[in-house]
Structure formats: C-alpha cells, structure tokens
Structure 1
Amino acid sequence: MAAYELETLRDTAALRKITDFAAALCGCPVSLVSLVEETRQTFIARSGIDITETPRDVSFCAHAMLGDEIMVVPDATDDPRFACNALVTGETNIRFYAGAPLVTEDGIPLGSLCVIDTVPHPEGLTDLQRQGLETLADNVMARLRDNRDAAVSRNAERDARIALTDSNTRFRTLADTMPQMVWSTLPDGYHDYFNARWYEYTGMPDGSTDGEGWNGMFHPDDQERAWARWRQSLTSGDPYEIEYRLRYRDGTYRWVLGRALPIRDDEGKIVRWFGTCTDIHEQKLTLEEREVISQELSHRIKNIFSVVSGLIAFSARAHPEFRDIAGDLRDRITALGRAHDFVRPHSPASMPANQPNSLIGLLGELFEPYQVTGQDRVSLKGDDVAIDDRSATPLALLFHELATNATKYGALSVPDGWVTVTMNSDGEAVTLDWREQGGPAVTPPGGSGFGTQLMELSAVRQLGGTVARDWKADGLDVTVTVPLAAFRRR
C-alpha cells in the first residue's frame, strides 16, 4: 500500500460516482472501493454506508482481491468462509457480496470494488452486471494509477527542491568560510553571487556589484583588460585567469589574482561559472622589489665584465708580447658578458629581441659578430631548448671557443665558409652538432691545448655531457651531447 498512500488519493468525488453507479447497476444499497492493508481495510470511496474501515480479519475484499474474476457470495450465511463473520452476524448484516479485484499492472492485489446487500441474491449477478462491475473496477485502477503517478511526481519535485535548497545552503556556508572571495555567474557571465568575504573586503553593500557592477571595482587602468579577458573566456569556454587591482574597503587598490572555471552539464553546455579572487598584493610587491634588486645586481655584474676587459686591454698595451693571449682572454670574457646579459632579469626596456630563456636565442646573440649582412655564416637548426643562467655560462664558453677556432683556422676563416649548428632533443638528452663546411682542409692538432681543455671543462664537467670531434676533409664536425636536465633548474 506504500505506493498508494491515502494522502495521494485526491479524486474521491470521482470514485464516489463509480460506487454510486455500481450500487445502482447491481441493485444493491451499498458499494465500496476498499483497499486492504496488513491489519485493516479502508474504504476510500463508499455509497450507502457510513463506516470508513474495518479490521482485515472480517474483510470480504481480502478474499475477493486474490481471485482472477469477480467473487460472488449469493448468501453469506450459507458460505462457510463468512457464516460466522461479525459483519454477517452483527449489525451490518451482510448477506450478498460481489467484489471485482483491484490489481496493479505488476500483479499486486490492492482490494476490490464491491457491492453489498442485506438480503441474499440467489441469482448472483447478470452478465451485464458482471461486465459493468469489471469495467468500473478498471476505471478505479486507472484513477488510482493517475493519483499515484501525480503523487510520485509531487514527491520528486519536493525532494528536488529540498536537495537544491540544502545544496545551496552548504555551498554558501562553505564559501563564506573561505579566505578567498568567491563569486559565480550565469552562463552569459551575469554575476549573481558573491560570498561574505567579497563584501567584507570591498566594503560594498550586498548586491551592489551584481551584474556588470563588479568591473567598476577594478582600477581604471585594468578594467578594459579584465573585461576583454572575461569576454574571451565566455566566448571560448576557456578558464579565466588574470591579475588586476581591486578596490579595497579603504579606497586603495590592491593586487588580486582572479580565476574562474565553467561548470558544464552532461552535454558539455556551460550552466554556470564559479570563480575566486585571492589577494596577492604583498607577494606582488615582494616580486617587484626582488626584480629591481636582481636587475641592479645583474647590471653591476655586467659592469664588472667591462672593467675586467678594460684591465686586460690596459695590461696588454703595457706588455705587447701578451697581446694575442690578452685578446683571446678578453674575447672570452666578452662572450661570458653577452651570455650573462642575455639570461639576466630584464625590464621591458632591456628585454633582448630573442627569447631570454632560449638556447637558439643565446647562440644567436653569441654568433651575431660572425654574421655577414645578407648571409648567415652560422645557421641554427633543430629543436630549441629552455635554458637559464646555470647553463648559459658553459654554453657561451663552449660555442665561443668553437667560433673563435673556426675564424682562425676553419670555415669562418675564408669568405665562402659557413657553419651549421643542429640541435636535437629526445626528451632525455640534447645533441648539439657543430658542422663546418667550405673552409680549408683541417688536421687534428698535435696535442690538447687550452681551448680544448676549456671545451672539456664546459661540456663535460659543468654540463655533465660528452664531446666528440671528427676532423673531416671538408671541415670540423663536433658533436656535444648534454643531459636535458643540465640546461635548466627544475
């Protein structure tokens, strides 16, 4: 009976019409729609009787609902099942009973539509009366099903409302306890929720920043940028992330990090955006101060390279016999200076044309003095690799030495010679191939000079790699293999 709870039965008047017609059809004073439960039977519609229920153990309908056809009792006093029944022997004085079973589409018996009389009906029911009672019983079941489905629907809607309210309450409670400012928008970007932290931080009245009012909280210089980034995310569905200055409750502006992600339904359609604003003002100021200090230190280091180069030049003038050695040393220091200047922290004004964390960019800077207008005497090919200041110094020394030797003895010592540097990365190591062509024939040196030792120091000891040389007839080929991890700190 649980699926057919009595409070869901709202069509009592219609059922009463059925019992009235059933009583008239069968010539009986009483007709009932009886639902039989575990301990009782309840009359959800009745004609000709005032009682609304009886115990199950005296129920005629409890028998009728178990059959496949209408149960007819012409004279209850002659039926051993009911002769001693209190409804027969007592004030109710039942003599005739006919009940059509009420059974669900799943075969579950519920009760019956019955007619009752206080006098026997030896003839029972006519064929027309049987047909009519069966038809009326089907009508009762149709109405019970409609009421059941409506009740299920109402219960489902009620449960959904309760679940939604509970979910919203939990979300708001959680959002209000977070240290970040939390907000959400409709799919079109309309802001309809901010948590308590937002209003506490901005000092704005509740609801005053809904809709497009939120953008007015940004610094005037950041508003258009924030709007453009937000519109881009709304159009593309990509996550939203931006740093901007937000007006604090005291009227000052503080840097915050804004982020938002879309929530999608099962079909991938965006149904809502959820976002946060995190105060990063102190971190932002600290990073700016650190950048200023870093740029100042880098500038002073660059000046030291210049001073050392100047001292070497000054000493060379005093000692002409060391001029060639001094020149080589000064060139190496200059190369180190160029490498340092390339990877050092930069301001927008001092940023090099090439990407400052790029191996191709660094080599391009180093080889710039060797290029000829309209002709790349040193060309770079292959995979670029990210570098930092740790690897820039040994790489600068290594390739400066190769370029210097090529200018003195190799491909760059003649107008038609050229060099190709090819870089290949396999995810574990990077192979750097220096290939000279078009120059004079080269022969292996008789011993290991300072330049060779410098290359070994740079590639092997500092970068943890290997160096292989091949003095081919048409030019030197040097292959340097370095672990990928040596190019950049984790």
Structure 2
Amino acid sequence: MALYDLAGARSEGALDDLVNFASELCAAPVALVSVVEEEFQSFLARVGTDLESTPRSQSFCAHAMHGHQVMEVPDASRDPRFADNPLVTGPPNIRFYAGAPLVSRDGVPLGAICIIDDTPRDGLTPFQTRGLEILATAAMARLDARRAARERREQRATVAETRAALVDSEMRFQTLADTMPQMVWSALPDGFHDYYNARWYEFTGVPAGTTDGEGWNDMFHPEDQDRAWQLWRHSLETGELYQIEYRLRHFDGTYRWVLGRAQPIRDAEGHITRWFGTCTDIHEQKLALEEREVISQELSHRIKNIFAVMSGLIHLAARAHPDIAPLAADLRERIAALGRAHDFVRPHSNNSRPSAQQDSLRGLLEELLAPYQSNAAERVTVTGIDIAIDDRAATPLALLFHELATNASKYGALSTPNGHVTIDITAHRDVSRIIWREDGGPLLSGNAEPSGFGNQLIELSAVRQLGGRVEREWRREGLQLTIEAPAASFSRVLRTE
C-alpha cells in the first residue's frame, strides 16, 4: 500500500470533498476514508471526528473491505461482531455504520469509505447506497492516479540516477583508460570496435574515429593481418580469450611489436555484452629476446665445438701414447655422449632443431642410443610414459645411459646379435622410476659386484646429481637396473610447481 502515497493523500486533503459529500448524501454526522493495515486503520480523510487512526481490532472497515457491496450495520450494539467494541461502548458511540469497500486495480482490499451515526437506522436508501459505491470508485480512482504519478516520478528519478551513474561511470572509465600506459579498446559482441583510449591515438597518430569498426586491421603489418583476423573471428565465435603478438604501425611510420589481449564481458545469462582489450608495446622486449636467442645459439655452438676439440686432443694424445688408447677411446665416447646431450637440449634455430621433442626423456634416449640400433626399436625399446627434462638433468642422464649402453655392447645384451634392451619409464606420485632390462645376451652365472669407473659414474649421475637411488638385479637373462629419483630433479618446471 506504500505505492499509493497514502500519507501524501492525507496531507493534501485529496479525498476531503468525497467524505463531505458522503456525509451530506447519507445525512450522517461522521464520514471517513479508511485504509486498514496490519495493526492499525488510518483515516486519509474525515469529517465529524478528530480521530486519525484506531487499532485494526476496532475497525468496522476491516470487515467491509472484504465484501463486494456496501456493508451496513443497523445497530452495532446489537451486532455480535461489534457489541463489545470500545468505539461502540464508548465515544463516538457508533450505532449505525455503512461502508463501501476500496479495492485496488490489482484486486487487493485496502479499506473503505464509510458513514457513521450514533443513532440506529433501518439502512440506507438505494440512492444513498449507489452514491456511496460511486464515491468508493472515485476515491480509488484518485488513489490510483496518485499511485501512477508517484510511479512516474520514481521512474523518472531512477532513470535520471541511472543516467547520472552511467555518465559518472563512463567518465571514470575514460579517465582510468587514458591514464594507463597500454592502449585500451572495446568492441560490441559482433566485434565492431567502438572505443579507443587516448594512448591508442597517441601511438598510431591516426585521427579519432578512423579505426572504428574494422579499420583497426589496416594498422597491422600486412604479414600479420590475416592471422589477426583469424584469431579475432575465432574468439568472437567461441568467446575464448583473444591473444596475439603482431606488428602495429607507429605514428612515425615504423612497425612495432605489440601484445594484444581481449576478454569478453558476460551478462547473468552468460551472453557476451562487450569485449574489452589492451595493446601493450613489447617491441624492446621482443628485440632483446631475439638478440638473447642469437647469443645463446652462438654460445651453445661454441660449447659444441669445445667438445669436438677435446675429443680431437684426446685422439692426438692416444696416437702419441698407444698404451692409453683403450682409455682414450672410452673417454672420447663419454665426451661424445655429453656432446649429443648438449646438442639435444641447447637452443636451436629452425634448421638445426632435432626432430625429437627437446624437453623429453624419450627424445634424449633416442638420440643417445641411436648408434646401437640396427633398425628403429630393434635392439633398444623404450616403453611407458615420457618425462619432461631440462638441460641440468640431460648431462647426468646422458652419462648414465651411455655407460649402460657401453657395458651392454661390451658384455651384455647388445654384445650378441639377438640381444635386446628394454627401458621402461613409470611414475608414482612424486617419484619417477626407470628400469633398464637386458635380455638375450650372455647368460649370467651369478651376481656381479659393480666396479670400475663406469659404475662409479652411474652412481654419481643417479644418486648425487639426480638425488635418486640405483638397484641392480643380476638375472640369468641379463642385468636389470632400477633407477628411482624425485620427479622434480628432472625439470625446473616440475620443481617449481
């Protein structure tokens, strides 16, 4: 009922003429427009009484408002509903009551327009009854008009507040966007670009508005335009994050590398309402990264040459001292294994990059054990999962598996035509396990005590450098060696996760 502005109707006397006419029409000393609420009834208009409200429990109108016609009480002192009512037993000593219900346009009973007399009556005349019904209709019409006016005022106020909030929000956004070092833009759900901040126009030097719609793509380097369109259309179709590095034309005519990103804004139903994006100048970082890549490749190439020089020096020393030739050959093979490991994990150009994945244990094993294969997977088979490795783990792994392969080719499975080696890679929780198993080589008569520099190298690689442990089983069919090490010791990425 608050929507009817009842307090305003009372203060402005909007219904006073109706109660005055009701009093005259029915020749009654008291007439009221009463609104019944949860605990009280309030009088919006009154004549013949100073009362402004009464408890609901004493209200005659609380009964009248639920009817469909005028309710009459000929003598309240004889009516069981009202005989004990304080308004009957005391002032104003109500005897006769007639009230027409006030019902809202939504069908909600609000109260009644009524007349009261302190003398019993037989009832109203038909003319008076009809007149009271018309007055009830007029009262509701005025209340409905006030309600509609109030709703319009509130709606106008809400619209004004909303517009003011939007203007304020837009000003705040533009101020924030213009103070950001990045270029900021926004687009409609269909991809139409309709806003760029000041930084965009400062960077590109184009007149305001010239890159709206699809004009932004002309600012890209010709080689980047098709790729940018393809990624942008994909994001529009799927709602996925838009991210791309491209060259953007600077106001001085050059092209600078820029990182572009955009994310959609969604409503409560998940529909995209707008895209907001940024462009960040990464030109210096891009050039620095390319320069560092060139230096890294050059340094790595020189390290590879050092391996070759070392191998050549050992070969010259062995020619001068034939008695150390076997030791020199072993040393050269180990250096060659280190060289292959370094070549596997070092930075490469597109032309020098190995075919196997460079952060893969399987790839490293294929590279190291290729000399022992007559055909692919014929002598050495790798099974199980793959493990990510980095340059720190590649060196001990290369030395370890080189020693195992060398020993197998001299004394074990790879020393016979039908021998075979299986390398099985598994992982459980945070521990990786690698099993080297030889079959088909010379039969073993019993356990052999590991000795020699090669076995020490295996222990050094697996235990001290990888932080793991080594277990040997001298099966009759051949050696089975199990290496267990923390998964984090194979890769820096795993170490930081």
Flag whether TM exceeds 0.5 (same fold): yes
1:319/1:191 Cα in 2 relative to 1: closer, same or farther (>3 Å)? same
Residue 119 of structure 1 is matched in structure 2 by none
The one of 367, 377, 381 equivalent to 2:379 is 377
Amino acid at match of 1:278: T
What CA distance in whole angstroms lies between the structure 2 residues aligned with 1:212 and 1:33? 70
Matched with 1:284 is 286
Farther off after superposition, 455-464 or 425-434 = 425-434
2:478 to 475, 479, 483: 475
Partner of 1:130: 129
Q: Per-residue deviation at 1:381?
A: 1.7
Contact preservation (8 Å) 1:67, 1:101: no
> Does the Cα contact within 8 Å between 1:245 and 1:254 map onto a contact in 2?
yes
The match for 1:488 is 491
Which ranges of structure 1 fall in alignment gaps of 5 or more residues?
Answer: 10-14, 44-52, 75-79, 83-96, 117-121
Partner residue of 1:367? 369
Deviates more, 1:351-360 or 1:366-375: 366-375
Q: Distance in 1 between matches of 2:367 and 2:149?
A: 79
Q: CA deviation at 1:344?
A: 0.8
Q: Secondary structure at the match of 2:286?
A: helix
- The 3 A distance-change label for structure 1 pair 202 and 155 is farther
**Offset of 1:373 from its aligned partner?**
2.6
> Does residue 314 of structure 2 align to residue 312 of structure 1?
yes
Paired residues for 1:78-477 under 5 Å? 100=100, 102=102, 125-127=124-126, 129-131=128-130, 133-134=132-133, 137-138=136-137, 140-141=139-140, 144-145=143-144, 148=147, 151-152=150-151, 155=154, 158=159, 159-373=161-375, 375-442=377-444, 443-477=446-480
Deviates more, 1:144-153 or 1:190-199: 144-153
Aligned residues: 454
The one-letter code sitting in structure 2 at the alignment partner of 1:384 is: D
Letter in structure 2 aligned against 1:130: T
Distance 1:242 1:7, change over 3 A: farther
Separation in 1, partners of 2:167, 2:129: 52
- CA displacement, residues 344-390 of structure 1 (integer Å, 9 cap, x when unaligned): 11122221111111111111111111111355321112221111111
- The one-letter code matched in structure 2 to 1:287 is L
CA shift at 1:144, angstroms?
4.0
C-alpha spacing 1:41/1:66, structure 2 compared with 1 (3 Å) = closer
CA deviation string 1:303-325 (max 9, x = no partner):
00011111111111222222211
Say if 2:43 and 2:53, in contact at 8 Å, map to a contact too: no
Separation in 2, partners of 1:486, 1:273: 43
Partner Cα distance (2:349, 2:178) in 1 = 40
Residues 23-54 of structure 1 show CA distances to partners (whole Å, capped at 9, x for unaligned) of 8x9599xxx99799xxx9988xxxxxxxxx99
Using a 3 Å threshold, how does the CA distance of structure 1 residues 459 and 185 change in structure 2: closer, same or farther?
same
Contact persistence 1:394–1:458 (CA under 8 A): yes
Going from structure 1 to structure 2, the CA distance change for 1:198 and 1:115 (only over 3 Å counts) comes to: farther
- Whichever residue aligns with residue 466 of structure 2, its letter is L
1:213-236 CA distances to partner (integer Å, 9 max, x unpaired)? 111111111111111111111222
Worse-matched range after superposition: 136-145 or 220-229: 136-145
Task: Give the TM-score taking structure 1 as reference length.
Answer: 0.78
Counterpart CA distance in 2 for 1:261 and 1:365 is 43
What is the one-letter code of the residue matched to 2:452? G
Please tell me the root mean square deviation across aligned C-alpha atoms, in Å: 4.4
User: In 2, Cα distance between the equivalents of 1:240 and 1:206?
Assistant: 24
